[in-house]
Structure 1
Amino acid sequence: MNSLLPRLPQNLSFRRRIRAPKQAPASRLARPMLVADGGLRFTECLLLGVLLLAYFLSLSMPLFGIPFHRTFLNHAALVLLGPVLALHLAGLLLNRQMQPAQPVLGVCWPLILLAGWALVGSAVAKWEFDRIDSYISFGTYLMLLPFYAAAVPQRAERLQAWAVALLFIWVLSSTAALIGESVRFNIAATLHEIEYLVAAGFFAMYYAVRNKGLKVLALVMMVAASVINQKLTGYIILAMALLHILTAAGWRRLLPSWRGLYGSGAVVFTVVVSTALALLYFEFREFLPSGNPEVRLAQYDAALRQFYQSPIWGSGFIDGSGEVYRGAFQALYIPTHSDVLDILKHGGLIGLALFAFGYWKIFLLLHRAVKATLDQPLLNAYFVSVRFFQVTALVTFSLNPLLLKGPFLIVIWCNLGLAVGMALTALRAAEAARQP
C-alpha cells in the first residue's frame, strides 16, 4: 500500500508562514492616533475639524443669516477644542513627536505674557468689581497659542498633509461664504469683520493651484466678494492682495542680482499706489462705504483719553471692554472698534509692546519659512498665504472688534499657532538638508 504513495524528497521541510501578531481591540482603536508617515491621523482630523467648525461659526452671517458669536454658541468650539487638543498633545508626547518647547516659547513668549496679564486683570475685574465685559476670553484663547504650535509633529514629511488640509479648509470656507453672500445679496455687509477670512482663502487658492484658469477664477471670486460686500475694510484687503500678487510675480521672475533694486522699486510703487488710493477715496467717498467715522472717532477718542490717564501699563485689564457712545437719543455701550487701541488702553505701552513684538516674531518666522520652502511649491503657497492672513487679520482687528469673539479667536490664533509649529519644522528640515 505504501509503495503506491508518491515519495517525497528527504530534504523537504514545511515552514510555518509568519503571521503578524494579533492586536487587542484597544490597540486597534488607538492605532489611528499614532503619528504616521503619511496623511493626517485621527486626533489631527479632530483638531482640524474643530478649526473648521470655528470657521463656519465665524462665517455664520453669510451662511445662515445669524451671527452665532452673539448667541450661546460663541464658545461652543472652545468646549470641543479643550479635550481634542489635550488628547492630540498626549499622543504626540507619548510618541515623542511633539515640538520642542524651547523654540515654541522663544517665538510665543511675548503673547503668552500678555495673555497671562489679561487673565489676571480680567479675573480681578470679574470677581472683585463685578465686570461682565472682561477680557477673560481674549486671555484664554491667546494662551492656547503655544499649544497649537506644539500640535504639529516635528517630522518634516508630515507637513505636506497639514498644508493640504489647512488650504482645503480656507478655500472651502471662502467659497461657502461667497455663495452665502451672493444668495443674501439684498442684506448689506454680510462679510463684515470676516473680509480677511474670505480674501485669505482665495489668496491661498491663487498660490496653491498651477492652472492659470483656476488662478483667474480665484482672483475673480476675491474681487466679487469685496464688491458684493461693499465695506471699506474689504476694499483695503483686496488692494493688499492684488499689490502682493503683482509685486511678487515680478520678484519671482528676476535674477537674484536684480532683486535688491526691484525690492526698493516695489516699496516705492506700493507707497505711491496706496497714497493714490487714499486720495481717490477722499475724492469720491460719497460713492464709497463710509466706515462709520462718527462712531469710530468718538470711540477712539474715549479709548485714547483712558490711555493718557495711565500710559505705561494702562488699566491692567480691570476695566470693561467697551465705551459709552452717546447718540442723538440714547447712550450705547459698544466696543472700541479697534482691538489694537483696546490693548493700548488696557495694557498701556507695555501691553502694546508685548503684542507688537510677539506678532512681529511670528511674522519673521513665517517669512523665513517662505524663503526656506521655495523648492516645495505647496508648502511655500501655504506659508505665503498664512503670512498674508496674519497681516490682513491685523488690519481687520485694528479697525474692528474681533478679539472678544470666540470663533474669531480660534480662527486667528489656531491658524497662527499651527503656522508657527509648521514653520519651525520646515526650518529645522531646511537646516538639516544644508548640513553635509
Structure 2
Amino acid sequence: MPTATTARYDRQLDFDIGKVFFYLFMFFSLFLLVDPFYTGYGAFRVTRDLGPLKYTGLVFGIGALFFSLVGMGINFPRAKQPPWRASLAHAWPILLFGILVLVGSLIARNYYDIKETFLQLAIGIAGFPLAVILFWSIGDRMLVARRFMQALLLVLPVVIGWVIVKRIQGGQAFHTEIFLFIPLAVYFFLSLKRRWLAWGILLSMIVLGIASNKNTAYLVLLITLIHLFLIGMVRHPARAMSIKRVIVIYGFVVALLVAIAAVGFLLLNREEYLPSGNVETRSITYTAAINRFIDSPIYGTGFMDTTLVPLEGHIVLGSDTLVTHSDLLDVLSHGGLLGVMLFLFGIYRVFFKAVAVLRSTVDDEVKSLVHGLSVIVICGLVTASFNSPLITLTTGVLFWFAFGLLAAVADYGRLLVSKQNAGHAGVVKA
C-alpha cells in the first residue's frame, strides 16, 4: 500500500508535456482501435494489419511515461519510494507473466523463426505499468482515469454508427472491442449529476449491445446491467414495504418472466435469430488448445509457439489457420499451470484491493471509477474467454491500461481511507 510518502506527491506540479503525450497516446490508440474511416470489414479491418503503425499509440505512451518520470524527478529528486512502486509491486504476478510471455515470444521469433507469436500480448501488458505510473505522476490524481473514460465515451458515436451500419448490411463490427464501451454506462451512470444524460448513455449502451448481434456483446451488456442492478440494491437496502416497492418488485418479476420466455424462444429458434458463434471452427481450435495443455500441463509451450491453429481442411476468410479464439485458453495451453496461476493470481490481488475500497468509506468519484473500471476488466476477461482481444495490440493495450488504472485507483482509495481513519483517531484523542 502506498505509504505516507504519497502525501508529498499531492503537492507536485504537473509536468505538462507528460500530459500532452498521454493525450496523444489515447488519441492514436483509439484511432487505431475504432478506425473511424472503417477501411475494412467487420472484425478484420485493415487497421489490424498496419505493421509498425500499430505501435504508434504505445510509442506516445512511452513518451508520456518518460516525461512523467522526469517531472517527478525534478519535483522530488530525493524521494526514495514513489507511490507507483507500491502499486506495481502488489501486481507483481501480472508483470512476471508479461516477462514470461515476452521471453517466450522473442525466442519463438528469433530462434524458431515463427512470425505469428504472442509478442503483441506481451507488449500490450505494458499498458498496466504505464497506467499506474501516469496515474501517480500527475497532481490531479483522478485526471488520467477520468480522461480515459471520457475518451472512450467520445468515440462511442462512431462505434454505434458503424455497428448499426454493418448490421443493416448483414455484417458485424467491434464485437471484440465492445467490452471497452458498454461498461462505460456504469461509471457515467454513477458519476453524472445530470440524470437525463446518464440515462441517455445507458440507453445508448443497450442499443449498442443489441445491435451488435453477437453473443459476446450480449454477455457484456448483461454483465453491465446486472452490475448496475446490484449497485442499486446495495445503495437502497430493504425498507418498510410500500406501494412503490410493491410496484417495483412486481415489475421486476414480470420483466424476469418475459426475459426467461424470450431466452427460451431464442434458444428454440437459435438458427434463425441468434448468431452462430462459429461453433465448428471453435471446436477445432479449443480442442487443439486443450491437447497442448495435456501434453505439457506445467509450463505449456512457454509461449515459444505460434498463435495460429491449423483448421484441418477448413477455410475461414481464405486461410486454413486461425487463432484459438480464446485468450484464456491460450494462457492455459501455452503458459501451462505456471502461466495461469500468475495470470489469475495477479487479477485476484488487484480485485481484492478494489473490493476492499468499495466496502470502505471513500469519496464517490473513487467508487464510481472502481465500479466502472472493474466492469470493463471483467467484461474484457469474459470477451477473452471466447475471443482474442488480448493478443491484438490495439485492444490489449487498452485492456491492460484499464486494469492498471483499477489497481492505481484502488490504492489511492485505500490511502484516502487510511487518512480518514487517522483523522478520526486524532479527533478521538483530542
Fold similarity call, TM over 0.5: yes
Q: In structure 1, which of residues 214, 232, 247 is the aligned counterpart of residue 215 of structure 2? A: 232
1:203 equivalent to 2:186? Answer: yes
2:31 partner letter: F
The alpha-carbon deviation at position 237 of structure 1 amounts to 0.9
**What's the counterpart of residue 395 of structure 1?**
382
- The whole-number CA distance in structure 2 between the counterparts of 1:59 and 1:391 is 21
Which residue pairs with 1:361 in the alignment? 349
- Contact 1:206 1:215 survives alignment (8 Å): yes
| Alignment correspondent of 1:291 | 277
Match of 1:177 in 2: 159
1:93 aligns with 2:99: no
Query: Is the 8 Å Cα contact of residues 122 and 135 (structure 1) preserved in structure 2?
Result: yes
- The aligned counterpart of 2:105 is 122
Whether 2:419 is the aligned partner of 1:432: answer: yes
Paired residues of 1:185 and 1:228 also in contact (CA < 8 A): yes
SS in 2 for 1:323: strand
Map Cα deviations across residues 55-100 of structure 1 (whole Å, 9 max, x no partner). Answer: 2311227855544122233222122222222111221233238843
1:370 to 338, 342, 358: 358
Paired residue type of 1:282: L
Q: 1:26 — aligned with what?
A: none
Measured at CA, do residues 45 and 430 of structure 1 come closer, stay the same or move farther in structure 2, by a change above 3 Å?
farther
Q: Equivalents in 2 of 1:58, 1:167: separation in Å?
A: 15
C-alpha deviation, 1:275, in angstroms: 9.1
Work out whether 1:312 is the aligned partner of 2:298.
Answer: yes
Distance 2:48 2:84 in 1: 33
Corresponding residue pairs, total: 387
Change (3 A) 1:254 1:37: farther
Partner of 2:89: 106
Show the counterpart of 1:59: 34
- What is the distance in 1 between the residues matched to 2:165 and 2:392? 25
- Is this contact kept in 2: 1:116–1:143, CA < 8 A? no
The answer for unaligned runs of 5 or more in structure 1 is 1-33, 257-268
Deviations 1:177-232 (A, max 9, x none): 11333344434211221111120223322222123322321221011111221111
**In structure 1, C-alpha distance between the alignment counterparts of 2:207 and 2:12, rounded to whole Å:** 40
Kept in 1: contact 2:25–2:61 (CA 8 A):
yes
| Matched residue SS, 2:311 | strand
Q: Partners of 1:275 and 1:393 in 2: how far apart?
A: 26
SS in 2 for 1:243: helix
Secondary structure in structure 2 of the residue aligned to 1:153 = helix
Q: 1:179 to 1:39 in 2, by over 3 A?
A: farther
**CA distance 1:326–1:174, shift in 2 (3 Å):** same
Superposition deviation, residue 361 in structure 1: 1.4
Q: Which residue of 1 aligns with 2:323?
A: 335
1:54–1:235: structure 2 CA closer, same or farther, 3 Å change rule? Answer: same
What are the superposed Cα offsets for residues 92-112 of structure 1, whole Å, 9 maximum, x if unpaired? 233238843552233211111
Residues 108-144 of structure 1 deviation map (CA, whole Å, 9 limit, x = unaligned) = 1111111111111122211111111112222233145
Distance in 2, Cα, partners of 1:210 & 1:101: 31
| Greater Rg by CA | 1
TM-score by length of 2: 0.81
Distance in 2, matches of 1:144 and 1:130, equals 27
Cα distance between partner residues in 1 of 2:57 and 2:220: 27
> What secondary structure does 2:309 align onto?
strand
Q: Distance in 2 between matches of 1:176 and 1:416?
A: 24
Q: Which runs of 5+ in 2 are unaligned?
A: 1-8, 240-252
Higher mean C-alpha displacement, 169-178 vs 55-64: 55-64
- CA deviation digits over 1:340-381, x for unaligned, max 9? 000111110111111011112122222233334x55233321
CA distance in 2, matches of 1:52, 1:370: 31
Q: Is the 8 A contact 2:206 2:221 kept in 1?
A: yes
The equivalent of 2:267 in structure 1 is 282
Q: Is the 8 A contact 1:99 1:149 kept in 2?
A: no
Q: 1: CA distance between counterparts of 2:262 and 2:421?
A: 44
**Counterpart-to-counterpart distance in 1, 2:69 and 2:28:** 20
Structure 1 residue 43 corresponds to structure 2 residue 18: yes
3-state SS in 2 of match to 1:382: helix
Q: CA RMSD in A?
A: 2.9
After TM superposition, list the pairs within 5 Å mapping 1:115-154 onto structure 2: 115-153=98-136
Instruction: Name the CA distance, whole Å, in 2 between partners of 1:365 and 1:57.
Output: 32
Match of 1:344 among 324, 327, 332: 332
- Alignment map for 1:389-428 (pairs within 5 Å): 389-428=376-415
Match of 1:323 in 2: 309
TM-score normalised to the size of structure 1?
0.80
Q: How far, CA to CA, are the matches of 1:53 and 1:368 in structure 2?
A: 34
Decide whether aligned partners of structure 1 residues 279 and 62 sit closer, same or farther in structure 2, where only a CA change above 3 A counts: farther
Q: Given that residues 137 and 405 in structure 1 are in contact (C-alpha distance below 8 angstroms), is that contact kept between their aligned partners in structure 2?
A: yes
State the match for 2:372 in structure 1.
385
Matching residue's letter, 1:210: K
Query: What is the distance in 1 between the residues matched to 2:348 and 2:260?
Result: 24
Q: 1:40 to 1:407 in 2, by over 3 A?
A: farther
Specify the alignment match of 1:246 in structure 2. 229
Partner of residue 50 from structure 2, selected from 50, 71, 74? 71
Can you list the C-alpha shifts for 1:312-338, whole angstroms capped at 9, x where unaligned? Answer: 111111111110113456861210000
Distance 1:52 1:356 in 2: 30
Shift of 1:431: 0.5
* Letter paired with 2:292: Q
Question: Which residue, 134, 138, 141 being the options, matches 1:159?
Answer: 141
